Amino acid sequence: MLVIMANDTVPPVEPAAEARLRHPEKAHRPDQPVRRGKPDWLRVKAPTSQEYLATRQIVRDHKLATVCEEAACPNIGECWKQRHATMMILGDTCTRACSFCNVATGKPGAVNPHEPLNVALAVQKLGLTHVVITSVDRDDLDDGGAGHFAAVIRQLRALCPETTVEVLTPDFLRKEGALELVVEARPDVFNHNLETVPRLYPEVRPGARYFHSLRLLSDVKRQDPTLFTKSGIMVGLGETKEEVAQVMDDLRSADVDFLTIGQYLQPTPKHHHVDRFVTPDEFQSYARLAKAKGFLLCSASPLTRSSYHADADFERLKAARLASLAAAG
C-alpha cells in the first residue's frame, strides 16, 4: 500500500501508465455539434440477456475483437442475443482516421498468426450458419491484411464447412495483388463499403478514394462473376438525395448486388456531426429506388448496418438471384 502523507506530493504518472487515447488524431480538434434527443426509431434497449453475456464470453475466451463492440454498434444487444457476432480481424487498431468511425486508431501491433483458428473455433462454438468477417485498415502491411483474410476463410471452410462466409474488407489502397488473394479464397459475399457520397470524402473518409473503392467492387465481379458483392453507405452526414441516387448508379455500374443504407450516429463530440436524422419513410423511399435501379437487394432503415441480419439477408440475396435468372429465361 502506498500511503501519501500530508506534506507529500503525488508521484507523476509515467507516460506508459496513462490510458491510451482511442483517437489521438482527434484529441486536439474542436468538438463538433452533438444533436440531442434521438427520435424514437433510433432508441434501443441496453444489452442484458444471458445469450448476450454468453456470446461476449465466447469472444473473450478466443481473444477476438468484434466490430460490434469496437464501432459501438447500436444493434449489439439484439444480434448477440441471437449469438451473431461480426469478427474483426487484424487487431483492434486502425491505421486510418475516418471522422465517422469509433474504432481505435494508431500504430497497430503484430498480426496474431493464431487468429484464423480462433475465429473458426468461436464460429463453431456460436453455431453460426453465416458469419461476417471484417477488419481494421492495415496500411502498414504489404498486402493490407489480404492474406490474413484468406487464411481466415480457409480455416472457416475447414472447421465450419456448412457456414457461409461474408467478408467486409478495407480498400487495399496501393496494395497490388491484395484483392486477388481474398477473391481466390472464395467468400460467399464480398462487401466493401463506400460509406458516403464522394463530395463528403475529404471530411468523412479522408484516407480513402471513392473511385478506387468502386473499382475494387467492380474488380471482384470481373475476377469472379459468381460472387455476391455488397456495399453500404450512411446517411445523415450532409448528403443530398440526388447524391445518394448517384451513388446507387455508380454501384450498379460496378455490378454490385446488395446495398445497405443506415443512419449515421456520432460516437463522440470529436467525430463528424449528425446533419439530420433521416426518417423511416425516407429509408423506405431509398429502398424502392434501389430496387428500381436493379439491385438484387437493398436493406435500408435507421438501424441498418453492414452485418445487421446478414444471415437472413444472404438467403434473400440467393433467392433474388435465382428469381432474376428465371425471369431472364
Of 64-73, 140-149, 186-195, the one with minimum mean pLDDT is: 64-73
In the predicted model, is pLDDT for residue 26 greater than 90? no
Confidence of residue 69 (pLDDT cuts 50, 70, 90): confident
Distance CA 41, CA 237 (A): 18
Q: Are 265 and 42 in contact (CB under 8 A)?
A: yes
Distance CA 241, CA 4 (A): 62
Distance CA 310, CA 294 (A): 20
Distance CA 305, CA 88 (A): 15
Whole-model pTM over 0.95: no
What local confidence, expressed as pLDDT, does residue 210 receive? 98
What local confidence, expressed as pLDDT, does residue 1 receive? 31
Query: Who contacts 139 (Cβ-Cβ below 8 Å, separation ≥6)?
Result: 95, 96, 173, 207
Q: Torsion angle, CA of 69/171/231/34, rounded to 10 degrees? A: 50
248 class by beta-carbon count within 10 Å (0-12 exposed, 13-18 middle, 19+ buried): buried
Q: C-alpha distances in angstroms, 58 versus 47, 64, 72, 246?
A: 16, 9, 19, 42
Confidence of residue 323 (pLDDT cuts 50, 70, 90): very high
What local confidence, expressed as pLDDT, does residue 293 receive? 98
Distance CA 82, CA 84 (A): 5
Pick the more confident residue, 192 or 35. Answer: 192
| Tens of pLDDT, residues 206-263 | 999 999 999 999 999 999 999 999 999 999 999 999 999 999 999 999 999 999 999 9
What local confidence, expressed as pLDDT, does residue 80 receive? 77
Task: Determine the average pLDDT of the residues in 103-131.
Answer: 94
| Tens of pLDDT, residues 161-201 | 999 999 999 999 999 999 999 999 999 999 999 999 999 99
CA-nearest of 233, 28, 51, 204 to 127 is 51
In the predicted model, is pLDDT for residue 114 greater than 80? yes
- Which cell numbers in the block locate residue 194? 463506400
CA atoms within 13 A on the CB side of 268: 16
Does residue 151 sit in helix, strand or coil? helix
Confidence of residue 145 (pLDDT cuts 50, 70, 90): very high
Distance CA 288, CA 250 (A): 17
Task: Match 497497430 to its residue by C-alpha cell.
Answer: 108
Strand 164-168, strand 65-66: pairing: unpaired
Q: Mean pLDDT score of the chain, rounded to an integer?
A: 90
